[in-house]
Amino acid sequence: MNKIVQIITEVYYVQIDNIQGKIFGILSKPKKEGKYPAILHVPGAGIRPYYGEVAEAAAGFVTFTIGIHGIPVNLDPSVYNNLIQGALNSYWTTNLDDKDHAYYKRVYLGCVRAVDFIESMDSFDGKNIGVTGGSQRGALSIITAALDKRIDYIAAFYPALSDLTGFIHGRAGGWPRIFNEGYTNKS
């Protein structure tokens, strides 16, 4: 017996301008014309490919899953492995003591640029946008919602980049454990 598969979503690789460089991501949306709420998926720590959120698109959401490193999110996994061992090793501490050139400045502004992109889409309902993620994604969700009043919903869980000085005060501290005894500045 032959199965008939109905395509109900569309998936696109996307490249948009960031404040410096590019943002690459995966846009997933319902194929049926209409206006839909949107979910921004900010990236977790590390360097990896992303695949988009097809199930959420099938459920009636526009989703945009972004990377933060200014490189395409659809490359062979070996490329990302080489980058984490080389040029992007310990990216989270790059220029940490320089607010104008800190690595995360471009990341934070890139998250807001991703919201700009969602807002420009004809398929976005223009009023319901959420941001979500855990770990670095959780931190970026909180930061994006704090920076951009267009975010209506946030689901952040176990956020990294929180209470970094906890180790200094005898309690658990957040990733990337910069002040933890024995921190070696390696991934």
Its domain, for residue 133, covers 9-169
CB 1 within 8 A of CB 29: no
What tens digit of pLDDT does each residue of 109-146 get? 999 999 999 999 999 999 999 999 999 999 999 999 99
In a domain? residue 156? yes
Judge whether 36 and 62 are in contact, CB under 8 Å: yes
Say if 180 falls within a structural domain: no
In a domain, 68, yes or no: yes
Residue 129 lies in a domain: yes
Task: Say if 35 falls within a structural domain.
Answer: yes
Name the band, by pLDDT with cuts 50, 70 and 90, for residue 169.
confident
C-alpha 155: how far from its chain's center? Answer: 13
**149 within a domain of the structure (yes/no):** yes
Q: 30 preceded by cis ω (within 30°)?
A: no
| CATH of residue 106 | 3.40.50.1820
- Number of domains comprising the chain: 1
Burial class (CB in 10 A: 0-12, 13-18, 19+), 73: buried
Assess if residue 33 is contained within a domain.
Answer: yes
Distance of CA 151 to the CA centre of its chain: 14
Integer CA distances (angstroms), 31 to 21, 49, 118, 130, in order = 30, 24, 16, 20
Average pLDDT over residues 56-69: 96
Residue at 179 is within a domain: no
